[in-house]
Structure 1
């Protein structure tokens, strides 16, 4: 008899020198680390809870909650800067030397950065949208602009507008989804953290810093990525438009790309079965080591 994978039954805690990291664990087998994206009310559980029943049949799934999103203890760092370090602390705390990674949007960027800096720690890498840079489309994309507007003035109407930008099928935006996202996104600490990332001032600072920095952006270093990589993308993504895939598709040495039709940014939710099938085929294939 299979135990139902509920929030409570899968929730775990790991004490670290920078606070408690919370995560969800399900299944047995090789470790598979799942990293969530950003945005109002996001958590790792909400990103991947629908995929755990299938993935946990093959892997020991570990859904990490990044600091600064209202679940794990926050740090003093910018949430995007804190995330890669939290991954290493998490793996070290659980005694995991090497792991396969699935990263959604921001989580894909974090997983890529960890793999670039620690190639011995990451086996295979699956990303969901978000990785790369705009080539033909203007940046930031529609979804990011709506995210900035919500962060500046968090209203229910702006949250709903942003949620609609995340999906191809508007029926995906249910009252239940709106309510759970609204509760988390308007928590004062979580909102303050979001403003570090997506307020207009924060975005302007980031753009200025990148323009003046001598350090190359991560997407310019993808030719050094050692991990065998599967990039998954929604054809109708309005958050990270599909032309962003061109740089990683051309420059990552060992990369495959799977584009899903009639699908927005949340590929693992909106094209759940097709996405799971493609990801499992990639992760369990004999030649993938």
Structure 2
């Protein structure tokens, strides 16, 4: 997906944001949407949103970023506060692009980053769309099998095609047969980039303090966050528990929740047509030019 002939008219470049180089791809014009991918091994913005960019770009200026630690962006993430580090970096990206405020769409780790952006700088996030976001009640109860598989990818015997195939086909989506070998191969190649191996982005928190900081249910700012939020969750999500959806709805004042049956952790890919329709209409009604 890194070659832009796949999506006509899309442009890609690297932007300096603080001390980092952030790789972005853009399509469409109008009010900006920043799209943030998940944290699985080998993830990148374009592979995460391959089924959504063109549809959303009919209404918006779509900016798809590789978050720090992933894709073609600078590697390494601050382990004592990963969500905060990513959020500051993505706010820095908006600065570099001279974007005052944007809608922010985030899947999994990207959802946690998006939510943290809204807590840190609510004036800059006009609306949130979160798909199975990370960090909701994570310190209450044991991690899910999918999250364990994600965090253990670089541990033990180290990365392998088998480990990644299992993670994607068994834990990431409801129907693993839909995922092509080519897609797995591309993610595997990204996951063994020497720079990634030197500083794997998601390895689990390095302290209890870090773990508590990565749980939004313990953040008092949530209750006063007025940013309109749409939460989308697959009921068969094996990475982040779907119960996180109703938790967020209780804690966030302006939160709508949509649960997709027979869908895993990758709503935007598994249910792309409905995702594109729902997100377009939600964000269009919340865009004030």
Q: TM-score range by the shorter chain?
A: 0.7 to 0.9
Deviation, 1:187, is 1.3
Deviation, 1:38, is 0.3
Matching residue of 1:242: 242
- 1: CA distance, partners of 2:214 / 2:133: 18
- Classify 1:168/1:52 alpha carbon distance in 2 versus 1 (closer, same or farther; 3 Å): same
- Classify 1:36/1:7 alpha carbon distance in 2 versus 1 (closer, same or farther; 3 Å): farther
- 2: CA distance, partners of 1:160 / 1:270: 17
CA offsets, 1:71-97, max 9 Å, x none? 112357345443112111111111111
Deviation, 1:157, is 1.3
Secondary structure of the residue aligned to 1:249 is helix
Structural mapping, 1:187-202, within 5 Å: 187-194=193-200, 197-198=202-203, 202=204
Structural mapping, 1:101-116, within 5 Å: 101-116=104-119
Q: Output the TM-score relative to the length of structure 1.
A: 0.88
Secondary structure of the residue aligned to 2:70 is coil
For structure 2, the residue ranges without an aligned partner over 5 or more in a row are none
Deviation, 1:171, is 1.0
- Classify 1:251/1:77 alpha carbon distance in 2 versus 1 (closer, same or farther; 3 Å): closer
Q: Which has the higher helix share?
A: 1
Task: Select 2:186's aligned residue among 177, 180, 183.
Answer: 180
- 2: CA distance, partners of 1:186 / 1:144: 19
Contact 2:18 2:89 in 1 (8 A): no
Structural mapping, 1:163-174, within 5 Å: 163-164=168-169, 165-174=171-180
- 2: CA distance, partners of 1:157 / 1:126: 32
Count of residue pairs brought into register by the alignment? 278
Matching residue of 1:155: 160
- 2: CA distance, partners of 1:209 / 1:30: 38
Q: Does 1:270 align with 2:273?
A: no
Task: Select 2:131's aligned residue among 97, 117, 128.
Answer: 128
